[in-house]
Amino acid sequence: MAVFFYGCVTLDGYLADKAHNLDWLHQTGEPEETGYSDFYRAMDVTLMGRRTFREVERLNCAASVYPTTENYVFTHGDLSQDGFTAVSGDVAEFVKKLGRDKNIWVMGGSAILAPLLNQNLVDHMIIQVAPVLLGEGIPLFTRDETRKRFYLEEVRKYGQFAELRYGRIA
């Protein structure tokens, strides 16, 4: 089992615009045009921050978006959606407690991803690139990450998305 980052960025490396909106992503294509379904079926746990969760909350029935996984949201507040558990504290320690017998999907930004990268807990990075330039926004990497090397496993094309699959070098 493994820890995965799976997400989409713009050509200039942003996860979201300055207001944390993902309109650019929704206007580019649909999840059905990617390998998302196969990826999700292999996951046991999702981890996200509060801002990513807000995007999920905008959906009519958020619990139906991730119905087969344990879903954790790092936040200091309460959650109003069934199917999601609020957690706080050190992200890396939380992942270690989950154990290595589960496939864990890390979604969202660097507040969740950087600590995991810095502790060598991310095994695979699957980054889809959308043909959009935002010019400014919320970057995937924020310089909080220490130097890490990954190896390129595969490159795929899904509609307008390029998907880069990387594995951690042990």
Give the pLDDT confidence of 60-117 residue by residue, as tens digits. 666 778 999 999 999 988 887 888 999 999 999 999 999 879 999 999 788 899 999 9
Residue 44 and residue 39: Cα distance in Å, rounded?
A: 11
What pLDDT, on the 0 to 100 scale, is given for residue 59? 66
Domains and CATH numbers, the chain: 2-168 (3.40.430.10)
> Residues 128-142, buried b or exposed e (16+ Cβ, 10 A)?
bbbebebeebbbbee
Q: Are 68 and 37 in contact (CB under 8 A)?
A: no
What pLDDT sits at residue 10? 96
**Predicted TM-score (pTM) of this structure:** 0.90
Mean pLDDT, the chain, as a whole number? 89
Alpha-carbon span 46 to 48, nearest angstrom: 7
Q: Across 29-33, 61-65, 75-79, 141-145, which has the greatest mean pLDDT?
A: 75-79
